[in-house]
Amino acid sequence: MQTIGWIGLGIMGKPMAKNLLAAGYPLVVHDLVEAPVKELVAAGAREGRSPKEVAAQVDVLMTMLPNSPDVKDVVLGDDGVLAGAREGLILVDMSSIAPLVSKELAETAARQGVAMLDAPVSGGEPKAVDGTLAVMVGGPQEAFDAVKDILGVMGASVVRVGEAGSGNTTKLANQIVVALNLAAMSEAMVLAQKAGVDPEKVYQAIRGGLAGSTVLDAKMPRVLDGNFKPGFRIELHIKDLMNALDTAHALGAPAMLTAQVCEAMQLLRSGGHGADDHGGLIQFFEKLAGVEVRKETRPM
């Protein structure tokens, strides 16, 4: 069985790594925060004190980090992955970063005999916990074939969409669709509340029709409970939408709606809501309308 390295034990990375341990894979872990490392070691993993040290011990190394600069530092730094990697290592970056950065890192890694896949995920913390994420993969077919079973431990859907960078391009498309779904849900339910119609009943009435969606079913019950504890933080969705806008601008692709939703999220972050779940986007629309969409509502 392949030995796996894991770097990045945050909201998403920790449960994903735990699922690999539960499946019986030998695991070497590293994170700048000590507590999740201790938790994984207690569950049976070994600790690597640096990305370089992890890379030297494993067949496959996975990273789950916040953004492009973090991945570049972990992969290219003096004490980074490529400093310790042997030829034949497969590097799987499961972070959501700019596609151009994924391409650049893959080219650098290939010159050292390391195959790199960009494999971002969708589904948030709940699906990370139960191992049913959607995994979107870019990179060499041979490397994908070698790690597909590993990815299948963490995801219900594992699809190779093309060459290096295409996984993160797909993730940007995913994040646009999710963001616009959240905005549409928010506008619709604020309208219902403002009109004096119970939003919970509106949700039940429309969820089985064309307006129904995974986003609606995942987020509307939490909104009704006023639960904005993050599965996926607004500030991270802003990061993804900024990457989407940068990519769209570079390609000459229109992204007007994406820009509008990103601005709404930016305003929420500036008001102290950046760490809320992205379903908390509804708070922007609630404030404009002067209502709250909850099971027990009251004027603001």
47 SS3 class: strand
Angle between helix 68-76 and helix 99-111 axes, rounded to 10 deg? 10
Cα–Cα distance for residue pair 185/145, rounded to 1 Å: 38
Active-site residue, from 18, 52, 171, 239: 171
DSSP state of 27: E
Q: Is 33 helix (H, G, I), strand (E, B) or coil?
A: coil
What is the C-alpha to C-alpha distance for residues 197 and 144, in angstroms, rounded to an integer? 50
Please choose, from the candidates 151, 145, 90, the residue with its C-alpha nearest in 3D space to the C-alpha of residue 119: 151
Long-range Cβ contact pairs of 291-298 (< 8 A, separation 24 or more): 291/190, 291/193, 291/194, 292/193, 292/226, 293/189, 293/190, 293/192, 293/193, 293/199, 293/223, 293/224, 294/223, 294/224, 294/225, 294/226, 295/200, 295/224, 295/225, 297/193
291 in helix, strand or coil? coil
What the block records as the tokens of 165 is 């960078």
Place of tokens 């290592």: 89
* Whole-Å CA distances, 163 to 99, 111, 116: 11, 16, 10
Strand 121-122 and strand 60-63: the pairing is unpaired
171 is catalytic: yes
Active centre residues (catalytic): 171
